[in-house]
Amino acid sequence: MPKAVRFHEIGGPEVLKIEEIAVRQPQKGEIAIDVVAVGLNRAESMFFHGHYIEQPKLPSGLGYEAVGKITAVGQDVDPSLIGRRVGTIPGFSMNDYPVFAEKAIVPAHEIAELPPTLSDVDCAAVWMQYTTAYGALVELGKVRPGDFVLITAASSSVGLAAIQITKAQGAVAIATTRTSSKKQQLLDLGADYVIATEEEDLPACVTEITKGKLARIVFDPVGGDYVNLLAQATAFEGTIFLYGMLSGKPTSYPMSGIGKGVALTFYLLTQTKTPERLERMKRYIYDRLADGTFKPKVDRVFRFEEVVEAYTHLESNQQVGKIVITLG
């Protein structure tokens, strides 16, 4: 029988096990995939820790982002899809459709094809990061030439995608990282400016970089009290997009934003899943991957049996870019 990553209790990476599972046939609106690579995400770590917006139904599977070939389709799905290499677009339920397995079932509308020029490993570093950044920066934030965009936790895969999208939109990417150890890497990966927040005064640096204009868009996965500092660096009627709650603390409207009419909004990837937005997003990302404008950055590749080590590395915060696991 095929193998999958599962967990029977809440905890850290040590609770993850590789087990044999029975795989059902795809039903109406579903497809079956033979998985060759999986991209790791913070959402999965939060899921097995019990801190995610969706609680796991134990024993639970895991995984949002897989790459593989379609082997079968359910009712009402185009049979010509069989044999195509696709990636899954995160945003579905990991309880219903875990993809960290040798064989996975997913909804047909949650997949997208990938340029043939990209390797399987690179393809596993595409959809979570670029769709998350696209939805906030392009679809909702409408980043345009000349804008200043402040990107926190910029060494994450989503942060790096946000840098690339900001640059593609003709805007200025101001990246943040906690210490200067990753500063040069972020500059090499496209950031126009990098601020080490534990060593530098964030609002003062943004004020100097923008010559007092501040950032029209802030893209942040941390939340908590940190938004008060971010609001100080946000322009008049600018927007702070929260796409995560890594601080683990409640996030209140920042008092420092009141006098400037700063908007604080929580952004979910599912907001891109309306049919019109989804197709527009797929085309935007695919075209820029195909022409080389977007280049996924893979930090490290692990083998399937190294799942515990891989998520331990993810939680260490030492990576720059995506962590990928290969199967087979």
Strands 30-39 and 65-73: antiparallel
The answer, yes or no, to whether residue 248 has pLDDT greater than 80, is no
Q: Is residue 291 part of a domain?
A: no
pTM attached to this predicted model: 0.90
> Taking the CB of residue 245, how many other CB atoms lie within 10 A of it?
18
The CATH number that applies at residue 169 is: 3.40.50.720
Residue with the two structure tokens 């579903």: 30
> Taking the CB of residue 236, how many other CB atoms lie within 10 A of it?
11
User: What are the tens digits of pLDDT across the range 79-134?
Assistant: 999 999 999 998 889 999 999 999 999 999 999 989 999 999 999 999 999 999 99
* 56 and 23 in a common domain: yes
The CATH number that applies at residue 88 is: 3.90.180.10
Mean model confidence pLDDT for the chain: 93
Q: What integer pLDDT is reported at residue 268 of this predicted model? A: 86
**Distances, alpha carbon 75 to alpha carbons 70, 273, 312, in Å:** 14, 21, 40
Q: Is residue 293 part of a domain?
A: no
* 259 and 161 in a common domain: yes
Q: Is residue 286 part of a domain?
A: no
* 256 and 155 in a common domain: yes
What the block records as the tokens of 32 is: 């079956």
76: phi > 0 → left, psi -120 to 50 → alpha, else beta; which?
left
User: What are the tens digits of pLDDT across the range 285-327?
Assistant: 999 999 999 999 999 999 999 999 999 999 988 888 899 999 9
**Distances, alpha carbon 153 to alpha carbons 162, 175, 180, 247, 300, in Å:** 11, 8, 13, 12, 18
The residue range of the domain holding 27 is 3-126+298-326
Q: What integer pLDDT is reported at residue 145 of this predicted model? A: 97
**Distances, alpha carbon 178 to alpha carbons 15, 197, 271, in Å:** 29, 5, 29
* 198 and 92 in a common domain: no
The answer, yes or no, to whether residue 247 has pLDDT greater than 80, is no
* 150 and 120 in a common domain: no
The answer, yes or no, to whether residue 9 has pLDDT greater than 90, is yes
Q: What integer pLDDT is reported at residue 298 of this predicted model? A: 94
What the block records as the tokens of 38 is: 């999986």
* 321 and 247 in a common domain: no
* 242 and 142 in a common domain: yes
* 318 and 205 in a common domain: no
* 133 and 121 in a common domain: no
* 181 and 119 in a common domain: no
Query: Residues of the chain with pLDDT > 70: what percent?
Result: 100
